[in-house]
Amino acid sequence: MKKYNVCMVGIGAVGTEIVRLLRKRNFPMAKLTAFATRERTEMIDGLPLDVKVATGGESFKGYDFAFFAGTEGAKGASKTLGWAAAEAGCVVVDNGDDFRMDPRVPLCIPEINADALKGHSNFIANPNCSTAIALVPLYALHREAKIKRIVCCTYQAVSGSGSAAIRELETQTRAWAEGKPLTHEVYPAQIAFNVIAQIGSEAKDMPGYTSEEAKLGRETRKIIGDDSIQAVSTCVRVPVFNGHSEALHVEFHHPITPERATEILSNFPGVQVVDDLAKSRFPMPIEASGIYDTLVGRIRKDPTVPNGLSLFVSGDNIWKGAAQNAIQIAEKMIEMGLK
């Protein structure tokens, strides 16, 4: 089997999980290097990783894949180095949102639109974490009933904000248990034992909505390839370490029953149905964390709209929502003979 030289830009929460998943999934690597702001050696799960400083496109020559591993909302790295890496012959898979809507750049969830990779220019975008977790099960239903409108409410873990946010929740929880004052730096308010109804800044093209809330609709339309789909979101940060959850209320063009939806979802790759209300079995972030699939449950009819369904999903935002999806893109490119 051919082996590939792999690098990543950034070695925070997402970058660390990319390393773990590359090893866990036995990605065919000849070499693995990280680029960051200073040169060093990082130990991840007891194994060393060389960290270098990228100075431009020349740094990426000889590499086959480059994963730009910034957390959601992080700016700058792919703008500074992404296209230079692509021009050096390296396939860039970018976790940031700078180029997701760029017409030159495929926005890919491999279970849904792998064919979009055929038109790549050595630059592919990873979708937003909430989009990736919601869209795998929603696309399975869209193929049969065609989505008309999505109303989405998210419950997003602090790992989506990076390592500093994880530490902040840990520190606040310990302080509360010890009766000490709770301070905050990462978030605009205390996150422990609280929820914060703001993720991102106000969207320029959607007054009153945050940048996170604006992403679901535009990314869904691009990935599915249907500009008629309407979507509205409320995105909330919750005191969960890892694993995003979402309440999805979906109106379809064609009838679909909860029973038929359950059958479809049970047979779609990347989805696990967890749905037994009588036994209190439904998706939870604590069970979704550290698995590849999106958990789907609470599948029921929405009686307020024609052809409506409501469901609840949980998924690992650092895995399927970031690192895993990026690696799946590279794996799919190799499988399709595109690299």
Residue 80 DSSP symbol: I
Q: Which of 7, 108, 129, 152 is catalytic?
A: 129
Contact 131, 219 (CB under 8 A): yes
Question: How many Cβ atoms sit within 10 Å of the Cβ of residue 230?
Answer: 13
Q: Outline where the chain has alpha helix (H).
A: 13-24, 77, 83-87, 110-113, 129-145, 163-177, 211-224, 258-266, 285-288, 324-335
235 labelled catalytic: no
| Lookup: tokens for 30 | 């000849």
90 labelled catalytic: no
Question: Residue 267 in 3-state DSSP?
Answer: coil
| Lookup: tokens for 132 | 């990736």
**Sheet arrangement for strand 294-302:** 230-237, 147-156, 244-252, 308-315, 294-302, 271-273
Question: Residue 257 in 3-state DSSP?
Answer: coil
Please tell me the number of Cα atoms within 13 Å of 201 on its side-chain side: 4
Nearest to 129 by CA among 328, 310, 324, 329: 324
CA dist., res. 217 & res. 228, Å (int)? 10
Query: Identity (one letter) of the amino acid at 66?
Result: A
Q: Which of 7, 142, 152, 244 is catalytic?
A: 244
Query: Identity (one letter) of the amino acid at 262?
Result: T
Q: 49-84: buried (b, 16+ CB within 10 Å) or exposed (e) per residue?
A: bebeebeebebbeebbbbbbbbbbbbeebbeebbbb
What does R_g of the chain's alpha carbons equal in angstroms?
Answer: 20
Enumerate the active-site residues.
129, 244
